[in-house]
Chain A
Amino acid sequence: MNFKLKIWRQKNAATKGKFEDYNITDVSSEMSFLQMLDYFNDKLILDGGDPVHFEHDCREGICGSCGLYINGRPHGPLKNTTTCELHMREFEDGSTIVIEPWRSKAFPLIKDLVVDRSSFDEVMFAGGFVNINTGGAQDANTTPINKKISDRAFDAAVCIGCGACVAACKNSSAMLFVSAKVSQFAMLPQGKTEATERVEKMVAKMDEMGFGYCSNTYACEFDCPKGISVEFIAQMNREFFSAKVCSHKK
């Protein structure tokens, strides 16, 4: 397969970037999108050029490192699929593929297609954990948890923190990410104890990092590679509301 690539090139945050047009030939339809970029970079290096920088790690859809804005969608055209699990057979032979980095004030660009997503880490440091020392593993079933609730908590916990929700949102809002993290803890007994403080701290940090507000357009849910539901955003709205209304004065 042959493609025309239009890739955002930017040396660093201080310099201005621009799109560069490239041609790539002899791409196998079985290559993953990142393998295609590896193959492209090899050629670029042999030609004495600067390889296109992009982030990746596990390449099996669980680490959340990869994330490219491909032809107008985070992680490309497939639903519930990360960039690394997207294959070249999904693209039309001879077509142009436009590759852009995540665009958000809270995700400053580092180089080419690599952005700094540590604002997500900051949100996690603000409350995305359980504070008590849980000690060694307990016997199974000492704390009974309804199967439906544990499944639901897991549905939230599958978030890999890739930032596609922010990239997809017209406001670069991080509500889907933060709500998944808030909800996964709020539903389980270990996390419930600190649920009120957690949601207040995590929302405050989210606002501080410069993400936009939620407009309920649900683009995040549409483009989330893990299919996380906006019902978790509603759950966070509930948690935050009751935290603001019911929490004690500090």
Chain B
Amino acid sequence: MSKKGFSIASLSHKYIMAAAGAFLMLFLVMHLTTNLLLLAGDEGAKFNEAVDFLLTNPLIKIMEYVLFAGFILHIILGVVIQLHNRRSRPVGYHVTPKSGTSTFSRFMFHSGIIILIFLLLHLYHFFFVKLGLVPMYGGAEERHEFFPMLVYVFKNPWMVAIYVVSVIVLGFHLKHAFQSAFQSFGLNHNKYMPGIKAVGTIYAIAISIGFSVIPLYFYFIY
């Protein structure tokens, strides 16, 4: 795709997309590890300790900006690529294509949109409060006192359902994303690819289940 005076090759788009995606996948691991401390059954003591550590660590402060850049790049490029791809086939087929592909791979944009909408809701619940854009709720006395807020959010069955469905969609997105990132960087080799695909599937399932357990725990057990 060449534009006047500014052109990025299609492959470079894909590298940036994959790099941002890979970074977000690492972030999810860290996010899940911290969140699983909520299940310790200690009224969030360990979780708060972890949050305090993250909030006071200067490196994490910097990484927060990197994370935002990662999200923005991944989202904007996702839209740019989708628009370009739509234009590449102005007239579609009459018969629904029957070429063998994995189901999730064809709906990366759609699952991405669902995840984006969820992300905005999630930011509203737990990030904008920290920034002071949204008033505190659930009996929290400080802006980063997440425990009472999440107890409050997850007492609402609708919110629990939205969270669980969204992380399952996220799992579908990741199932394709994991091996796709390797492919985009050219790391596809018949010796390693079956392993990469297996790890990707385990990763996607682990993220989905891990993040689903938390709202379910607070709704049914806590």
Which residue numbers of A lie inside 8 Å of B, CB to CB? 6, 8, 19, 69, 71-74, 98, 100, 103-106, 109, 168, 170-173, 203-204, 206-208, 210-219, 222-223, 230-231, 233-241, 244
Distance between A81 CB and nearest chain B CB, rounded to angstroms: 14
**CB pair A218 B101 closer than 8 Å:** yes
Interface: B35 (CB within 8 A)? no
B11, A212: Cβ atoms closer than 8 Å:
no
Closest chain A CB from B71 CB (angstroms)? 20
Residue of A nearest to B81 (CB): A213
**Do A237 and B81 touch across chains, with their CB atoms under 8 A apart?**
no
What is the total of A-B residue contacts with beta carbons within 8 Å?
A: 139
Q: Chain A contacts of B81 at CB under 8 A?
A: 213, 215
Query: Which partner residue on chain B sits nearest A231 by CB separation?
Result: B188
Which residue of the partner chain, among A98, A212, A234, contacts B95 with CB atoms under 8 Å?
A: A98
State in angstroms the CA–CA spacing of A171 and B1 once bound together: 14
**Cα–Cα, bound, A11→B34 (Å):** 64
**Shortest Cβ gap from B96 to chain A (Å):** 6
A69 CA to B94 CA, complexed, in Å: 10
**B5 in contact (CB, < 8 A):** no
CB-defined contacts of B94 to chain A, threshold 8 Å: 6, 8, 19, 98, 100
- Contact status A168-B87, CB under 8 Å: no
Is the CB–CB distance between A231 and B189 below 8 Å? Answer: yes
Contact A237 B98 (CB under 8 A): no
B186 interface contact, C-beta 8 A: yes
Q: Smallest CB–CB gap between B83 and chain A, Å?
A: 10
CB-defined contacts of B10 to chain A, threshold 8 Å: 203, 206-207, 211, 213-214
Q: Report if A203-B11 is in contact (Cβ < 8 Å); known contacts: A219-B97, A234-B187.
A: yes
**Which one of B13, B15, B88 lies within 8 Å of A105 (CB-CB)?**
B88
Residues in B145-183 with C-beta less than 8 Å from chain A: 176, 179-180, 183
Question: Contacts A207-B2, A240-B9 given: A215-B108 contact, CB under 8 Å?
Answer: yes
Q: What chain B residues lie within 8 Å of A238 (beta carbons)?
A: 185-187
**Which of A100, A231, A237 lies in contact with B190, CB distance below 8 A?**
A231
Q: Look across to chain B and name the residue whose beta carbon is closest to the beta carbon of A232.
A: B188
Also in contact, A100 and B95, with CB within 8 A (given A207-B1, A237-B14)? yes
Across the interface, A100 reaches (CB within 8 A) one of B13, B88, B93, namely B93
Interchain CA distance A68-B18 in the complex, whole Å: 34
Instruction: From known contacts A213-B10, A237-B14, A240-B11, infer whether A71 and B105 are also in contact, taking CB-CB under 8 Å.
Output: no
Q: Does B92 interact with chain A (Cβ within 8 Å)?
A: yes
- Other CB < 8 Å A-B pairs besides A103-B92, A218-B105, 7 of them? A73-B97, A203-B9, A211-B10, A217-B102, A218-B101, A218-B102, A223-B99
Q: Is the CB of B88 within 8 A of A217?
A: no
* Cα–Cα, bound, A6→B145 (Å): 65
| B19–chain A nearest beta-carbon distance, Å | 11
Whether B85 sits at the interface, judged by CB under 8 Å, is yes
Residues of chain B within 8 A (CB-CB) of A204 are 2, 9
